[in-house]
Chain A
Amino acid sequence: MNRLALTLSLATRSLANRRLTAVLTVLSIAVSVALVVGVEQVRTEAKRGFTNTISGADLIVGARSGQLNLLLYSVFRIGDPTTNVSYANYERIAARDDVAWTIPISLGDSHRGFRVMGTTDAYFEHYRFADNQALTFTSGVPFKWVTDAVIGADVAAALGYATGDPIVVSHGLGATSFQQHTELPFRVAGVLRRTGTPVDRTVHVTLAGIEAIHNGWARTPAARQPVEASIAEQNALQPTSITAFIVGMDSRIAIFGLQRAINEFNGEPLLAIIPGVALQQLWSLVGVAETALFAVSAFVVIGGLIGLLTTLLTSLAERRREMAVLRAVGAGRGLVFALLIVEAWLLAFVAGLIGVGVIHAALWFARPIILDQFGLYLAGGGPGAFDAIVVVVVAVAAAILAAFPAWRAYRYSLADGLTVRT
């Protein structure tokens, strides 16, 4: 029988004989591995979800403020715009030859804690998220009338809305605003399929509708008749300003030219940002927490490995006889050394596999809950390269750490000879 097979068989049987401590050691390492893999999985998915928030847009244009500020309020519905963009300038830029499409965004109102966003049909046509996915409807249709509203999946789920339900928009962003725009109730025209982005938490209404509740049109007799949004926008309900707009271009090469033109535009202080660049910049801020989280889980692994080392060292005392017996029947000192290395390696390797398996199973089962509670979709296609690396690194680290107890066992077997005095 070759040496490795013999060592492996002796190590497994010896471990089985000490199964309680072995199981506990495996457990503590498995938990730490599960933590590392879990953190990494959530981190990757969070980052993916984050960068997937907007796709296919070439520029986002708003009033001149900071790049992150503009990104946060226009895409993530976080924070408030400082000033608006005049509708005239928006139209001027939208009319340029190199601009393929634009999506106007008008923010500032809310509905029961959800942001209300004024926009046009262009939103449903051109807005993209994840890998260039378009918005789709689970029920209903895009805007037709001024009073049409299209709600995200979270809004529909949280408030129990279906198509046809009325929505009263509040002025400002509080969940319980005193100023309700009761004069012009909107009606849910459509519900969007879940995207895993802030779109899910948004109430979309027509740009004309936003204008109508703010300029007093809602109280005029004209408001009593259904008015088509696209027509109203060009007439009585043309907004004077919007919050921001998203630009898609015919040619990617032209992006920088337009960005510069907008940033240097004299008529109004405007800012154009490239969403991908801004997203990366924002993520690098979030990344600090992410690194801290990873460091913590790495330390937990180190803790688990130190536990393994402790177990091995304490087991040595009671195993001196075992080693002496093996020596007496012809085992070399190398085998005594190898036995402990193999044992540590085996424990850590099995623990790694268990940790990876358990966390992936747990994430798989928890996926609907996490999506529901945190809006984070864990795509997680099972264990991947990262998991393999973690298992290998932990197993190798354990084997290296075990060199210390192995060396002691080696020394013992030299000093003890064939008779253990203890």
Chain B
Amino acid sequence: MHGAGENIAAAVDAETLVFRYDDGDPIIDIESLRIAAGERVFIEGPSGSGKSTLLGLIGGILVPTSGTLNVLETNLGALSATERDRLRAERIGFVFQMFNLLPYLSLVDNVLLPCRFSPVRTARAGGSAAELQQNAVRLLEQLGLSSHLHERKVTELSIGQQQRVAAARALIGEPSLLIADEPTSALDTKTRQRFIDLVIGECERVGTSVLFVSHDPTLATAFDRRIVLSELNRATAQSDE
């Protein structure tokens, strides 16, 4: 079983990675991208730099047109769609800019959603219903959502609170890789830094690699390394998308 803190060399390893829709121009054209296991990387990318596409590729939703892409030591190109879905469910956590939560599920059920798609993740999050519940509550509290909020409806939470629930969901069951796509852009400056600190603290504890995408370079200080996507991606360097 792949635990988060296991000994893997790279979280992401891409070589001559190209992606284009059908016969269109390449949207992603990356010579080499390597993110070590446990490394926390800040990717700076304005909109149009191909970041959504890159995250779609790493998340296994999109398939590379050419080149190799290894995520968590697994060659995505060699996997079927179902296998890619499984990898995502078992070992990757996502946080988006906003609207991360399903309004019809409770806070805790939202957090436990990835476990419902993956027995492996369920097992890592405790296995039994009671332990899952406990783990979800612990994560929410660790991310600063005190228990009196847990009974609230998702729609009654502030955006900052919703983002913390989303982070808890991404981190339940100790994923090997956390992908955060502009998770703080809807937050104000004060809560922004606090959110990043909380998420990184939790990832550090478990050993989760972090891929944090933002257009705001001032946030990069909390990360091990900063990558500017528009420099990395030759597709956007050429065409002014």
B partners with A? yes
The verdict on A418 contacting B116 (CB below 8 Å), with A13-B105, A325-B99, A328-B96 known, is no
B52: Cβ under 8 A from any A Cβ: yes
Residues 80-98 of A contacting B (Cβ, < 8 Å): none
Residues of B within 8 A of A333 (CB): 81
Q: How far is the CA of A330 from the CA of B105 in the complex (A)?
A: 17
Interface hit among B4-12, B53-61, B137-145, B192-200? B53-61
Interface residues of B in 43-74 (CB under 8 A from A): 52-53, 55-56, 59, 61-62
User: Are A330 and B55 touching (Cβ within 8 A)?
Assistant: no
Chain B residues 66 to 98 lying within 8 A of chain A, measured CB to CB, are: 81-82, 85-86, 88-90, 94, 96-97
Q: Which of A6, A334, A418 is B94 in contact with, Cβ under 8 Å? A: A418
Give a binary string over A315-337; 1 marks a CB under 8 Å from any B CB, 0 the rest.
Answer: 00000011011111111111000
Q: How far is the CA of A414 from the CA of B85 in the complex (A)?
A: 13
Contacts A14-B104, A17-B104, A325-B99 given; does A332 touch B81 at CB 8 Å: yes
Q: Within 8 Å CB of A16, what residues of B?
A: 104
Residue of A nearest to B21 (CB): A415
B181 beta carbon closer than 8 Å to chain A: yes
Q: Which residue of A lies closest to B97 (CB)?
A: A419
The answer to whether the Cβ of A20 comes within 8 Å of any Cβ in the partner chain is no
Residues of A contacting B104 with CB < 8 Å?
A: 13-14, 16-17
- Cα–Cα distance between A6 and B119 once the two chains are bound (Å): 13
Give B103 Cβ to nearest chain A Cβ, in Å: 6
Residues of A within 8 A of B101 (CB): 325
Q: Is the CB of B89 within 8 A of A418?
A: no
Shortest distance in angstroms between B133's beta carbon and chain A's nearest beta carbon?
15
Q: Does B102 contact A (CB under 8 A)?
A: yes
- CB pair A418–B55 under 8 Å, yes or no, is yes
Most buried by B among A321, A330, A333: A330
Query: From residue A317, how far is it (CB to closest CB) to chain B in Å?
Result: 13
Shortest CB-to-CB span from B20 to chain A, Å, is 14
Inter-chain contacts of A1 with B (CB < 8 A): 116
Query: In the complex, what distance in Å separates the CA atom of A419 from the CA atom of B47?
Result: 12
Min distance, Cβ A419 to any Cβ of chain B, angstroms: 5
Instruction: Contact check, B85 vs A419: say whether CB atoms are below 8 A apart.
Output: no
Asked if B113 is an interface residue, CB under 8 A from chain A, the answer is: yes
| Structural contact, A327 and B99, CB atoms closer than 8 A | no
Interface presence of B236 (CB below 8 A): no
Q: Counting CB contacts under 8 A, is A417 at the interface?
A: yes
A328 touches B116 (CB 8 A): no
Contacts of A6 in B (CB 8 A): 116-117
CB distance from A131 to the nearest CB of B (A): 55
Main secondary structure, interface of A, reads helix
A331 to B105, CA, bound (A): 16
Q: Which residues of A contact B90 (CB under 8 A)?
A: 330
User: In the complex, A1 Cα to B132 Cα: how many Å?
Assistant: 14
C-alpha spacing A420/B100, complex, angstroms: 11
* Beta-carbon contact of B102 and A417 below 8 Å: no
Q: Are A328 and B94 in touch, CB under 8 angstroms?
A: yes
* B residues less than 8 Å from A334 (CB atoms): 82
Is B164 located at the chain interface by the 8 A CB criterion?
A: no
Q: Does B40 contact A (CB under 8 A)?
A: no
The docked-state distance in angstroms from the alpha carbon of A16 to that of B104 is 8
Contact status B61-A330, CB under 8 Å: no
Q: Do B102 and A330 touch across chains, with their CB atoms under 8 A apart?
A: no
Asked whether A329 lies within 8 Å of B61 as measured between CB atoms, the reply is no
Expressed in whole angstroms, the Cα–Cα distance for A321 and B82 within the complex equals 21
The answer for the CA separation of A48 and B90 in the assembled complex, in Å, is: 63
Complex Cα spacing A17 to B103, Å: 7
> In the complex, what distance in Å separates the CA atom of A325 from the CA atom of B99?
8
Cβ contacts under 8 Å, A418 to chain B: 52, 55-56, 59, 61, 94, 96, 181
Interface residues of B in 94-138 (CB under 8 A from A): 94, 96-97, 99-105, 113-114, 116-118, 121
From A324, A328, A332, A419, give the contact of B82 (CB < 8 A).
Answer: A332
| Given known A325-B101, A332-B82, contact A417–B118 (CB-CB < 8 A) | no
Asked whether, in the complex, the Cβ of B56 is within 8 Å of the Cβ of A330, the reply is no
Could you list some 13 contacts between A and B, CB below 8 A?
A: A6-B116, A13-B105, A328-B59, A329-B114, A329-B169, A330-B90, A330-B121, A332-B82, A332-B85, A333-B81, A417-B52, A418-B61, A420-B99
List 10 tightest A-B contacts by C-beta distance, closest first. A330-B89, A17-B104, A330-B117, A417-B56, A328-B94, A332-B85, A329-B114, A13-B104, A321-B99, A417-B61
